[in-house]
């Protein structure tokens, strides 16, 4: 038989799981909590820009273009 305490426990577990659904994206999100799909899209776009800048920076160091590396780093 389903009791009220079991339902409350299941609801609490569900809320905890749904709260941490996008926990890795909150680092790139301008808001502390990701609620809507727009927040997810903004966080993913910022993460992609960050990754692209990191890859370009590593490539410029590898190709010994230090002035481009410094330009990219100080532009951020």
Residue 36 has pLDDT above 70, yes or no: yes
The pLDDT tens digits for 50-60 are 999 888 888 87
Give the pLDDT score at 25. 74
> Is the four-CA dihedral 53, 55, 56, 57 of positive or negative sign?
positive
pTM, to two decimals: 0.56
Give the pLDDT score at 60. 79
Q: What is the DSSP string of 3-70?
A: -HHHHHHHHHHHHHHHHTTTTTGGGT-SSSS--SHHHHHHHHHHHHHHHHHHHHHHHHHHTT-HHHHH
């Amino acid at each position: 038989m389903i009791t009220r305490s079991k339902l409350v426990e299941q609801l609490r577990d569900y809320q905890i799981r749904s709260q941490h659904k996008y926990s890795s994206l909150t680092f790139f999100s301008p808001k502390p909590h990701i609620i809507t799909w727009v927040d997810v899209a903004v966080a993913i776009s910022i993460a992609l820009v960050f990754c692209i800048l990191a890859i370009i920076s590593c490539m410029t160091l590898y190709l010994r273009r230090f002035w481009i590396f410094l330009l990219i780093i100080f532009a951020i």
